[in-house]
């Protein structure tokens, strides 16, 4: 029996015992060899011997943040004092993408860490249906400095797949030409928004993937949220299951992956299982630090259980997720869950007219209307000093030629849906598709121009 099979079939209490034993070993290893965490824990008056339960761990081991890591590596470049192995054991350096705007964390990876890194990419693909010899199109940009650049290729290699690493190398139309020439494509990996771009291009060229690629096993996405209606539409268009994962450089790969056994429901989102024998995740209320209750949103706190070089122990991710216990999924796996498609960044939240507005919430409102191809949002200050929000969207080609009255009605319904979900009235207008960006990886649909507007008003 493989380790995956053991983890899938274990009773919850046995699984938790296995997980806690791994945690204890990691805490002892880190305390012995990692100056950064040893200093943090001594300041908090805690040592590994004091941690006798998961409750002890969550209450006594302090959180660490991106700011902590950046200050540490600034003081002792390049890795900081949190490199837990001799420097010569580092075989690869990875960094975060820096999308928060406050710098990039630097991680030193050992050969053993890279084996975990590969496995934490291969494992979700395998659970989604990938098998040895399958033809894969990896549409995510390969290489670079992030785990997401190296991980997919390493994961497909570990799984024995025949991989075409086409992301960032050839255009979308060239990818489609190559896929059609090959024919027997089994698996596609892409960011959420690039799969949207790829699907839009297939529609534009009147190519039906489920007819052209009858052996397609699965689509696998990562990086961003989406509305349930979009996922159902994608599955119908491609004729196969849509799977997804949540991961990061800090997780050294994927920390959650979609349940392969439970079909997507038409009226609800699917669930992501935590791969929590490799990454321990807590979901906490960011205001109180307490674990959230089933169905509540909180911040993902991440602990690596098998990383030696630059481990994360109770790292504050600033990622927001809706948590559920393991038994909320009927598959029987003893792993806790978060809701699929709704994970977002606390740092991405916009305060608009006193309301907390999340880009993923607007995505859900806009893309729940199947007529929409793409959109972009802008928050700005008008000449009277009022905060205004403009949503510019393009319709899919089939609907763009519809009568003006039909399009006006659709724009009205979208504006109402956005207002209902966000409590913010937004102006929604149609523009040509060429006026909106195309995303090759993560989407950045929103621009908040209020600071420049305030500055302009102050000098008027």
What is the value of pTM for the model shown?
0.83
CATH number of the domain bearing residue 145: 3.40.50.12780
Residues 374 and 287 in one domain: no
- Any residues with CB less than 8 A from the CB of 119 and at least 6 apart, and which? 155, 158, 253, 278
Same domain, 360 and 327: no
Spatial contact of 422 and 357, defined as CB atoms under 8 Å apart: yes
Instruction: For residue range 213-225, list pLDDT tens digits in order.
Output: 999 999 999 857 7
Same domain, 82 and 127: yes
The answer on 145 and 232 residing in a single domain is yes
Single out the residue of 423, 435, 440, 422 nearest to residue 374, CA to CA.
435
Task: Decide the pairing of beta strands 355-357 and 271-274.
Answer: unpaired
Judgement on whether residues 183 and 99 belong to the same structural domain of the protein: yes
Mutual angle of helices 35-43 and 12-33, in 10-degree steps? 100
Coarse DSSP helix, strand, coil percentages of the chain, rounded to the nearest 5 percent: 40, 25, 35
Residues 340 and 374 in one domain: no
Task: Assign residue 412 the CATH number of its domain.
Answer: 3.30.300.30
Q: What is the DSSP letter of 141?
A: P
Would you place residue 98 in the very low, low, confident or very high pLDDT band (cuts 50, 70, 90)?
Answer: low
| Interval 349-404: pLDDT, tens | 787 877 778 788 898 899 889 999 999 999 988 877 778 999 999 999 889 989 99
From CA 427, how far away is CA 193, in angstroms rounded?
23
Q: Is the domain of 112 the same as that of 89?
A: yes
Give the CA distances from residue 45 to residues 35, 51, 67, 84, 331, in Å, rounded to whole numbers and listed in that order: 15, 12, 22, 20, 41
Listed in sequence order, the DSSP H helices in 48-108 are 54-60, 66-75
Could you give the number of structural domains in the chain? 2
Q: Which of 346, 362, 386 is the last residue of a domain?
A: 346
Beta bridge partners of 101: none
Express each pLDDT in 12-60 by its tens digit: 999 999 999 999 999 999 999 999 999 999 999 999 999 999 999 999 9
For residue 420, what are the domain limits? 350-458
Write the DSSP symbol of residue 423.
S
């Amino acid at each position: 029996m493989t380790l995956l099979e053991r983890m899938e079939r274990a009773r919850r209490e046995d699984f938790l015992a296995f997980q806690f034993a791994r945690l204890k070993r990691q805490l002892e290893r880190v305390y012995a060899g990692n100056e950064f965490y040893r200093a943090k824990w001594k300041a908090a008056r805690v040592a590994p011997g004091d941690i006798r339960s998961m409750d002890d761990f969550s209450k006594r081991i302090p959180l660490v943040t991106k700011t902590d890591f950046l200050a540490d590596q600034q003081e002792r470049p390049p890795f900081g004092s949190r490199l837990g192995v001799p420097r010569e054991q580092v075989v690869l350096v990875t960094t975060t993408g820096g999308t928060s705007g406050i710098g990039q964390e630097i991680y030193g990876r050992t050969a053993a860490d890279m084996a975990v890194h590969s496995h934490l990419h291969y494992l979700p693909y395998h659970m989604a249906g990938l098998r040895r010899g399958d033809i894969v199109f990896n549409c995510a940009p390969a290489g670079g400095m992030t785990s997401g650049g190296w991980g997919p290729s390493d994961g497909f290699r570990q799984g024995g797949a025949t991989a075409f690493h086409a992301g960032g190398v050839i255009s979308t139309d060239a990818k489609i030409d190559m896929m059609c020439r090959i024919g027997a494509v089994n698996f596609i990996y892409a960011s959420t928004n690039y799969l949207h771009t790829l699907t839009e291009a297939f529609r534009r060229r009147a190519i039906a993937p489920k007819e052209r690629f009858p052996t397609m096993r699965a689509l696998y996405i990562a990086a961003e949220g989406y509305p349930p209606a979009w996922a159902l539409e994608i599955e119908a268009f491609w004729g196969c299951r849509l799977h997804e994962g949540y991961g990061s450089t800090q997780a050294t790969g994927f920390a959650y992956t979609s349940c392969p056994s439970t079909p997507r429901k038409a009226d609800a989102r699917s669930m992501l299982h935590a791969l929590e024998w490799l990454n321990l995740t807590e979901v906490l209320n960011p205001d109180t630090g307490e674990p959230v209750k089933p169905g509540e949103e909180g911040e993902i706190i991440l602990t690596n259980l098998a990383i030696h070089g630059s481990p994360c122990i109770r790292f504050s991710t600033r990622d927001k997720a809706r948590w559920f216990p393991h038994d909320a999924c009927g598959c029987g796996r003893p792993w806790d869950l978060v809701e699929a498609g709704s994970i977002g960044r606390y740092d991405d939240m916009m305060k608009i007219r006193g309301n907390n507005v999340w880009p993923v919430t607007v995505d859900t409102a806009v893309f729940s209307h199947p007529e929409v191809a793409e959109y972009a949002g802008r928050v700005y200050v008008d000449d009277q000093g009022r905060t205004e929000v403009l949503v510019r969207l393009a319709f899919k080609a089939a609907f763009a030629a519809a009568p003006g009255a039909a399009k006006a009605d659709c724009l009205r319904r979208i504006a109402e849906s956005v207002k209902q979900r966000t409590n913010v009235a937004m102006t929604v207008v149609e523009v040509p598709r060429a006026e909106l960006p195309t995303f090759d990886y993560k989407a950045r649909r929103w621009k908040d121009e209020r600071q420049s507007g305030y500055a302009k008003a102050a000098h008027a």
